[in-house]
Amino acid sequence: MEFEEFAAVRTPALLRYAYMLCGDRELARDLTQEVLIRSLVKWRRVSRAEHPDAYLRAMLTNEFLSLRRRKVVATVAVPYDGIAELGAKTASPEGEYAERAAMMQRLGTLPRRQRAVVVLRYYEDLSDAQIAEILGCRESTVRAYAARALAALRVEMAPRPKLAAQSGGGS
């Protein structure tokens, strides 16, 4: 398969994956473009890989993880409706809007590697072995990142106890 054909087919999925990693539509476009440019330069090697799409996903993950080391990036939250066209259509988008927006915000609070593990596991549906290969670590490290991330998300999602209204009157 030629690069142009591959890019035309896989770019939408790579954009969605990049957005899930970084939570910023424009940054997702930049990351994806950078990875596509790098893969074009070494397309012969990439195209000979057993799974070129997995190769590019790994490149995209590494690009995301190394982003802050290279330059300072201003983070601007994008409301969910700004990236709605990147996601799958739902039967009742109004009912899921607030929940999805809140989950994207919660994902944004996770450290980068934990967020990458959660996205790779639950959004890309990869195994611990595949995630470990992409991140260049052991499967036990992947499981530890996942456990920490899920624990943090559970804390964020736990209902907060309401404080009783203090009465203004005295005894």
Which stretches of 92-167 are DSSP H helices? 93-109, 112-118, 128-135, 139-157
The CATH topology of domain 1-86 is: Rna Polymerase Sigma Factor; Chain: A (1.10.1740)
Whether 92 shows a pLDDT value over 50: the answer reads yes
- pLDDT number for residue 170: 52
What are the boundaries of each domain within the chain?
1-86, 95-158
Instruction: Specify the pTM.
Output: 0.65
CATH number for 95-158 (one of 1.10.275.10, 1.10.10.10, 3.40.50.11540, 3.40.190.10): it is 1.10.10.10
Nearest residue to 134 (alpha-carbon basis) of 67, 30, 62, 64: 62
Give pLDDT tens digits for 30-78.
999 999 999 988 998 888 888 888 899 999 999 998 876 555 545 545 4
- Give yes or no for residue 82 having a pLDDT over 50: no
